[in-house]
Amino acid sequence: MGASYGRLSGEAELARAQAILDWSFGGRLTWSAAHWLDAMGHDTVRALRDDAGRVQAVLCLLPMGQWLGGRRVATGGLAGVGTAAEARGSGASSALLRDTLRELRADGVPLSTLYPASFTLYRRAGFEVAGSMYHYGVAARDIDVRDRELAVRPVEDGDWDAIVALSREVARGEMGNLDRGPQLWDRVRSRRGVPTTGFVVTDGGTLEGYVFLLQQAAAAPGRPYDLELTDVQARSARGWRRILTLLRDHGSLGAQIRWHGGPADPVVTLLAEEVCSVQLSTPWMLRLVDVDRALAARGYRAGARGELAMEVADEVLPENAGRRVLSVSDGVASVRPGGAGALRLDVRALAQLYTGYASAAALARVGRLDGTPEALATADALFSGPHPWMSDMF
C-alpha cells in the first residue's frame, strides 16, 4: 500500500490527530488539541499515514501572506507539527514536511514559514532562521505618557474592516510581518477560548489605532492581573500616545503589560525612560519552496538595480537547484535560468539572504555561501534592508 499524505478523513482520523498533538505538546497538561484544531480549522490539517493507513504525523497548513519589501508574498504557515509516540525516530515528520512542501509548490505558493520546536528537523527540510520576534514588558505605572486628545471606546462590529485595513497598512511597510489569515485574526480576538477585550482610538470618524487586551494571572504577588496585548497598532503618534495613556491608566493596579514586537518598537520609542524589558523571543524560520517565484515576488529597495547570477543547491526540492540570474530594476525583479553562478549557496543560506536577516558578506564569513567580491556586493545591495520580524505566533 505504501505511505500516503493528505487531509484528514473522518472522525476517527480527527481523534487520532488530536491524540498525537495532545501527546506531542503536553495538551493534557496545558491545552486541548481538540479546541486548537477547531480554531485552526480541520481542513488545514495534513497527515502522513503508514503503509497500514494509520496516521503517524500531522501538521496544520495555514494560508497567509508575508510582507517583504512592500509586496505580499504568499506563504504556507506550518503549525502544530506532531508525531505519534510510537513513530518518533522513524522519519515520519520529515516525510510529512516534504510532502507539504510539494503541495505548496504545486499550488504556486513560493514560501513556507514556521516557528521551530527543533532547528535540526526543519533544517533537514530546507528551512532556516530568517527573522525575529521580540518580547516586551513594562509596568503600567512606569508609562509616562498622558495624552487624552483622541477618543477611546470598545471595539464594535462595524470597526473590523478598518482594523484589518490599518493592520495591513502598517505591516506592508515592515520586513517579514504577516498578512494574517482568519486563524491568526481569531488568535487576536481570543486565546485558548478566552475572548480578548478590544479598544479603538478615533479622531472623529477615523480610526487612529486599536489594542486588544487579555487579562492574565499576575506574574508577581500583590497584583490582581497582568495584561497581554494580543495586537496593538496605530497610524500616528497621537494614536500611540492615546493607547499608552489607556495602558497607563491601569497603573493603580500595578499591572505588567506584555506584548510581542519588532526591534524598533513604537512603545519604547515614545517612553522617556528606559523602563521596558526586552528579550529575543523564538526566532522564525523560512523556506523558499519555489526559488524563482520567491525571488520575483518580493519587493526590493526603491531604485535598486543589478543582476545577480546565483547557483542554488536544494536536496529536498531539486527543482530549485541550479543556476539562475536575478535581475532587479527600480525595486521589481525578474528571474531567468542560466548565468555563471557567481554566488553559490544552498536554499537555507538563501532564506537568510532573502529576508535580509543576514548579509552575503556575513554568510560568506561563516562558510554558508561563496562568490566573487562583485557578486557579494551585488547581493548585499539588492537584499539589504531593515531587520525582518513578526509579532504573530502560530
What is the CATH number for 205? 3.40.630.30
Same domain, 125 and 168: no
* Cβ atoms of residues 166 and 235 within 8 Å: yes
Nearest partner of 258 among 134, 388, 387, 114, judged by Cα: 134
- Number of independent structural domains in the chain: 3
Q: In what order do the strands lie in the sheet with 343-346?
A: 332-337, 322-329, 305-313, 343-346, 369-371
Same domain, 273 and 150: yes
Same domain, 264 and 300: no
pLDDT average, residue stretch 284-299: 98
364 grid coordinates: 560568506
pLDDT average, residue stretch 235-245: 97
> Is 388 part of a structural domain of the chain?
no
Q: How confident is the model at residue 28 (pLDDT cuts 50, 70, 90)?
A: low
Question: pLDDT value at position 51?
Answer: 94
Same domain, 267 and 148: yes
pLDDT average, residue stretch 171-179: 97
Percent of the chain whose predicted confidence (pLDDT) is above 90: 88
Question: pLDDT value at position 376?
Answer: 98
The Cα-based distances of 63 to 82, 143, 205, 390 in angstroms read 19, 37, 33, 16
Rounded Cα gap, residues 201 and 189, in angstroms = 17
Same domain, 41 and 124: yes
Same domain, 153 and 108: no
The average confidence (pLDDT) of the chain is: 95
123 pLDDT higher than 80? yes
- φ, ψ dihedrals at 126, nearest 5°: 100, 5
Same domain, 138 and 126: no
Assign residue 283 a region (left: φ > 0; alpha: ψ between -120 and 50; beta: otherwise): beta
Rounded Cα gap, residues 131 and 87, in angstroms = 31
Secondary structure (DSSP) of 76-145: EEEEEEEE-GGGTTTTHHHHHHHHHHHHHHHTT--EEEE--S-HHHHHHTT-EEEEB-EEEEEEGGG---
Question: pLDDT value at position 32?
Answer: 84
38 pLDDT higher than 60? yes
pLDDT average, residue stretch 285-307: 96
59 grid coordinates: 501538521
- Least confident piece of the model among 88-97, 251-260, 314-323: 251-260
330 grid coordinates: 527600480
Question: pLDDT value at position 220?
Answer: 79
The domain containing residue 24 runs over which residues?
Answer: 4-131
Strand pairing report for 343-346 and 369-371:
antiparallel
Question: pLDDT value at position 30?
Answer: 58
Percent of the chain whose predicted confidence (pLDDT) is above 70: 98
Indicate the residue among 280, 315, 337 that finishes a domain. 280
